[in-house]
Structure 1
Amino acid sequence: MAKPVSIPGIGRASAFLASGTMVSRVLGFIKAILIARTIGQVGVSGDAFGTANILPNTIFTIIAGGVLSAILVPQIVKATVHADRGAAYINKLLTITLTILAATTVAAMAAAPLLVKVWSSYGPEQTALATVFAVWCLPQLFFYGLYSMLGEILNAHKIFGPFTWSPALNNVVAIAGLFVFMGMFGADSQGLREASDWTPAMVAVLAGTATLGVAAQALILFRYWKVLGLRFRPDFAWRGVGLAETGKLAGWSFAMILVTTVAGIVQSTVVSGASGPNNASIFALQNAWLIFMLPHSVLAVSLTTAYFTRMAEHARARDMEALKLDVSASLRNVSMMIVASAAVLFAVAIPFGSLFAGSPGQAVSMGFVIIAFVVGLVPFCFLFVLQRTFYALGDTRTPFFFTLFQAVLFCILAAGCLLLDKSLIGFGVALATSIAGTAQTFVAFFLLRRRLHGLDVQQIVNSMSIFTFSAIPATIAGGFVVLVMGGMNVEGWALSTPVAAMFTMVIAGAVTTLVYVFFLWVFRARELATIAAPFTKVLRRLRRA
Structure 2
Amino acid sequence: MFVVRAAGSPSIGRSSFLLGSGTVVSRALGFVKTIILAQTLGVVGSAGADSFAVANQLPSSIYVIIAGGVLTATLVPAIVKSALHRDGGIAYINKLMTMALVVLLGVTLLATLAAPWLVALFAGSWSTEQLALASAFAYWCLPQIFFYGLYTVLGEVLNARGSFGPFTWAPVLNNVVALLGVIAFMVVFGVDTGGERSVTDWTSSMVNLLAGTATLGVAAQALILIVFWRRLGLGFRPDFIWKGVGLRETGRVAGWTFGIVLVTQLGGIIETNVVSQASGVGASVFTLATAWLIFMLPHSIIAVSMGTVYFTRMSEHAASKKMAEVEADTSEALRNIGLLVVWAAAGLACVAYPVSTLFAGQDFFAIASLASLIQILVIGLPAFSALYVIFRVFLALGRARVLFNLTLLQVGLFCALALASSLLPLEMIAQGVAASLITSVLVQAIVSYALLRRRLSGLDSRRLRVTGLRSYVAGGVATVAGVIAGAVLGAYSEDGFALASVFGALIAMVCIGLVVTVVYALLLGLFRTSELAAVVRMVRVRIGR
- Measured in 2, the distance between the counterparts of 1:51 and 1:241 equals 39
Tell me which of 294, 318, 321 is aligned to 1:318: 321
Q: 1:475 aligns to what?
A: 479
Tell me which of 301, 304, 318 is aligned to 2:307: 304
Given that 1:348 and 1:509 are in contact with CA atoms closer than 8 Å, whether structure 2 keeps it comes out as: yes
- Measured in 2, the distance between the counterparts of 1:281 and 1:267 equals 10
Q: Which amino acid aligns with 1:143?
A: F
Q: Which amino acid aligns with 1:355?
A: L
Q: 1:33 aligns to what?
A: 35
- Measured in 1, the distance between the counterparts of 2:138 and 2:360 equals 24
Note closer, same or farther for the CA distance 1:61–1:104 as it changes in structure 2 (3 Å cut). closer
Q: 1:189 aligns to what?
A: 193
- Measured in 1, the distance between the counterparts of 2:133 and 2:255 equals 35
Given that 1:69 and 1:391 are in contact with CA atoms closer than 8 Å, whether structure 2 keeps it comes out as: no
- Measured in 2, the distance between the counterparts of 1:538 and 1:106 equals 45
Q: 1:533 aligns to what?
A: 537
Within-5 A mapping of 1:395-434? 395-434=399-438
Deviation string 1:194-241 (CA, Å, 9 cap, x unpaired) is: 111111111000000000000000010011112332111211111111
Q: 1:131 Cα shift?
A: 0.9
Q: Which amino acid aligns with 2:116?
A: P
Which one is further off, 502-511 or 206-215?
Answer: 502-511
Equivalent position SS for 1:518: helix
- Measured in 2, the distance between the counterparts of 1:7 and 1:94 equals 27
Whether 1:55 and 2:58 are equivalent positions in the alignment is yes
Give the unaligned 5+ runs of structure 2: 1-6
Q: Which amino acid aligns with 2:268?
A: G
Q: 1:7 Cα shift?
A: 9.8
- Measured in 2, the distance between the counterparts of 1:138 and 1:438 equals 33
Q: 2:3 aligns to what?
A: none
Q: 1:22 aligns to what?
A: 24
Whether 1:236 and 2:240 are equivalent positions in the alignment is yes
Q: 1:282 aligns to what?
A: 285
Q: 1:62 Cα shift?
A: 6.7
Given that 1:63 and 1:148 are in contact with CA atoms closer than 8 Å, whether structure 2 keeps it comes out as: no
Whether 1:164 and 2:162 are equivalent positions in the alignment is no
Taking only aligned residues, the RMSD between alpha carbons, in angstroms, comes to 1.8
Q: Which amino acid aligns with 1:20?
A: G
Q: 1:60 Cα shift?
A: 5.2
Whether 1:128 and 2:150 are equivalent positions in the alignment is no
Q: 1:153 Cα shift?
A: 0.6
Q: Which amino acid aligns with 1:445?
A: Y
Q: 1:87 aligns to what?
A: 90
Q: 1:24 Cα shift?
A: 0.4
Tell me which of 503, 507, 519 is aligned to 2:507: 503
Q: 1:256 aligns to what?
A: 260
TM-score, structure 2 as length reference? 0.95
Tell me which of 344, 352, 363 is aligned to 1:349: 352
Q: 1:83 Cα shift?
A: 3.0
Deviation string 1:403-437 (CA, Å, 9 cap, x unpaired) is: 11101000001011012111111111111111101
Tell me which of 383, 389, 397 is aligned to 1:385: 389
Given that 2:315 and 2:397 are in contact with CA atoms closer than 8 Å, whether structure 1 keeps it comes out as: yes
Q: 2:343 aligns to what?
A: 340
- Measured in 1, the distance between the counterparts of 2:453 and 2:59 equals 34
- Measured in 1, the distance between the counterparts of 2:160 and 2:540 equals 31
Which one is further off, 448-457 or 53-62?
Answer: 53-62
- Measured in 2, the distance between the counterparts of 1:38 and 1:535 equals 37
Q: Which amino acid aligns with 1:89?
A: Y
Note closer, same or farther for the CA distance 1:392–1:63 as it changes in structure 2 (3 Å cut). farther
Q: 1:500 Cα shift?
A: 1.5
Which one is further off, 179-188 or 368-377?
Answer: 179-188
Note closer, same or farther for the CA distance 1:135–1:233 as it changes in structure 2 (3 Å cut). same
Given that 2:346 and 2:475 are in contact with CA atoms closer than 8 Å, whether structure 1 keeps it comes out as: yes
Given that 1:383 and 1:441 are in contact with CA atoms closer than 8 Å, whether structure 2 keeps it comes out as: yes
Note closer, same or farther for the CA distance 1:423–1:225 as it changes in structure 2 (3 Å cut). same
Equivalent position SS for 2:351: helix
Note closer, same or farther for the CA distance 1:538–1:117 as it changes in structure 2 (3 Å cut). closer
Whether 1:376 and 2:380 are equivalent positions in the alignment is yes
- Measured in 1, the distance between the counterparts of 2:313 and 2:485 equals 42
Note closer, same or farther for the CA distance 1:535–1:204 as it changes in structure 2 (3 Å cut). closer
Given that 1:56 and 1:137 are in contact with CA atoms closer than 8 Å, whether structure 2 keeps it comes out as: yes
Equivalent position SS for 2:279: coil
Given that 2:64 and 2:261 are in contact with CA atoms closer than 8 Å, whether structure 1 keeps it comes out as: no
Whether 1:71 and 2:92 are equivalent positions in the alignment is no
Q: Which amino acid aligns with 2:166?
A: P
Whether 1:460 and 2:445 are equivalent positions in the alignment is no
- Measured in 2, the distance between the counterparts of 1:209 and 1:235 equals 33
Given that 1:292 and 1:377 are in contact with CA atoms closer than 8 Å, whether structure 2 keeps it comes out as: yes
- Measured in 1, the distance between the counterparts of 2:455 and 2:407 equals 17
Which one is further off, 332-341 or 84-93?
Answer: 84-93
- Measured in 2, the distance between the counterparts of 1:104 and 1:499 equals 46
- Measured in 2, the distance between the counterparts of 1:406 and 1:245 equals 27
Q: 1:65 Cα shift?
A: 7.6
- Measured in 2, the distance between the counterparts of 1:87 and 1:224 equals 16
- Measured in 2, the distance between the counterparts of 1:383 and 1:473 equals 24
Deviation string 1:168-216 (CA, Å, 9 cap, x unpaired) is: 0000000111121122211211111111111111100000000000000
Q: Which amino acid aligns with 1:92?
A: K
Q: 2:109 aligns to what?
A: 106
TM-score, structure 1 as length reference? 0.95
Equivalent position SS for 1:174: helix
Given that 1:495 and 1:501 are in contact with CA atoms closer than 8 Å, whether structure 2 keeps it comes out as: yes
- Measured in 1, the distance between the counterparts of 2:462 and 2:8 equals 22
Q: 1:361 aligns to what?
A: 365
Note closer, same or farther for the CA distance 1:8–1:497 as it changes in structure 2 (3 Å cut). farther
Within-5 A mapping of 1:430-441? 430-441=434-445
Whether 1:178 and 2:182 are equivalent positions in the alignment is yes
Within-5 A mapping of 1:195-206? 195-206=199-210
- Measured in 1, the distance between the counterparts of 2:152 and 2:390 equals 20
Q: Which amino acid aligns with 2:27?
A: R
Q: 1:458 Cα shift?
A: 1.2
- Measured in 2, the distance between the counterparts of 1:22 and 1:168 equals 9
Q: 1:11 aligns to what?
A: 13
Given that 1:406 and 1:436 are in contact with CA atoms closer than 8 Å, whether structure 2 keeps it comes out as: yes
**Total equivalences in the alignment:** 536
Q: 1:54 Cα shift?
A: 1.7
Equivalent position SS for 2:236: coil
Note closer, same or farther for the CA distance 1:412–1:95 as it changes in structure 2 (3 Å cut). same
Q: Which amino acid aligns with 2:326?
A: L
Equivalent position SS for 1:356: helix
Q: 1:57 Cα shift?
A: 2.5
Equivalent position SS for 1:419: coil
Q: Which amino acid aligns with 1:280?
A: A
Equivalent position SS for 2:87: coil
Which one is further off, 242-251 or 158-167?
Answer: 242-251
Give the unaligned 5+ runs of structure 1: none
Deviation string 1:425-450 (CA, Å, 9 cap, x unpaired) is: 11111111111011111121122222
Q: 1:64 Cα shift?
A: 9.1
Given that 2:69 and 2:261 are in contact with CA atoms closer than 8 Å, whether structure 1 keeps it comes out as: no
